[in-house]
Amino acid sequence: MKLFITMVILITSIFGSKYDKVKITEKISHILVFHKGKSINIHRIQNVKNHLTGAYAKISQPCPGRCIQPIDMKNGVDTVGEVEVISFIENKVNEHRGALIDARPQFMYNKETIPSAINIPFSLGENKKAMSSILEALGMEKLPKGKWNDSKALELMVYCNGPWCAKSSKLIGSLLKSGYPVKKIHYYRGGFQMWKSLGFTTVKTK
């Protein structure tokens, strides 16, 4: 039996992962996450001839309206890229110490999103009652006189459609205005377009 187990381990280590052709980084080929109770492997599409199609293949968006967003949000919020998003999902979301937030409208989130993301549409930023409930769900503790205790607040990473999408900035603005600590918010500027353009796994809700 021991001999058999050793053989299986050796064979597995020799042939490696099925996501080794197109890895995320040199050391990471895939990560396991949970989305609505289902386990999902986040990896990249292994077909090197893959092209981006559909709405996210568009390279120009009308501006004013959908203008290019700056890297520095000028409010102290840290801007990150895909490798940091992967590390955040693995170390914070999977450990229940952080939340990946999709700031797009609900129908877009249901159509396709990043595995493990939760949806807080940017439009709810104006709704004080909804924001208060959301802050509580995110670990903020309500104190008298409208103050908040942020010691147990989750770390957040907010994204929307892409580098031309202002929805994340709007939601981040509302969170900061409501009293969420700036040190616990990160901004994934590349958003869903960059996620898709790098061939990462996505999820759709039926």
Partner 1 sequence: MKRLRGAFTYKIAIIIIFFLGLIIIGLIFMLNTITDSYNPFMDTEQAPSFKLEKEKVLTTENYLDAIEHYKELELDDMSQDEAKEENSATLISQNSEVSKSSLSSKIDAIVSKSLAE
Q: Does 80 bind partner 1 (CB under 8 A)?
A: no
Q: What is the CA radius of gyration of the chain?
A: 19
- In angstroms, the CA 139 to CA 136 distance is 5
Q: Which residue's entry shows tokens 């053989």?
A: 7
151: which 2 tokens? 């010691």
- In angstroms, the CA 136 to CA 131 distance is 9
* Binder among 115, 162, 179, 190 for partner 1 (CB under 8 A): 115
* Binder among 61, 94, 106, 197 for partner 1 (CB under 8 A): 106
Strand partners, 187: 79, 158
Q: Does 8 bind partner 1 (CB under 8 A)?
A: no
> Quick one: CA torsion of 93, 99, 104, 105, rounded to 10 degrees?
110
Please, what is the minimum distance in Å from the beta carbon of residue 74 to partner 1?
27
Beta carbon nearer to partner 1, 33 or 77: 33
Beta carbon nearer to partner 1, 28 or 154: 154
Amino acid at 124: L
Please, what is the minimum distance in Å from the beta carbon of residue 72 to partner 1?
28
Please, what is the minimum distance in Å from the beta carbon of residue 34 to partner 1?
9
* Binder among 5, 14, 63, 71 for partner 1 (CB under 8 A): 14
Q: Which residues within the stretch 25-64 sit at the binding site for partner 1 (CB under 8 A)?
A: 35-38, 40, 45, 47, 49-54
For residue 64, whether the previous peptide bond is cis, meaning omega lies within 30 degrees of 0, is: yes
- In angstroms, the CA 112 to CA 202 distance is 6
Binding site for partner 1 (CB under 8 A): 3, 7, 10-11, 14, 35-38, 40, 45, 47, 49-54, 96, 99, 106, 110, 112, 115, 118-121, 124, 127, 129-130, 133-134, 137-138, 154, 199, 201-206
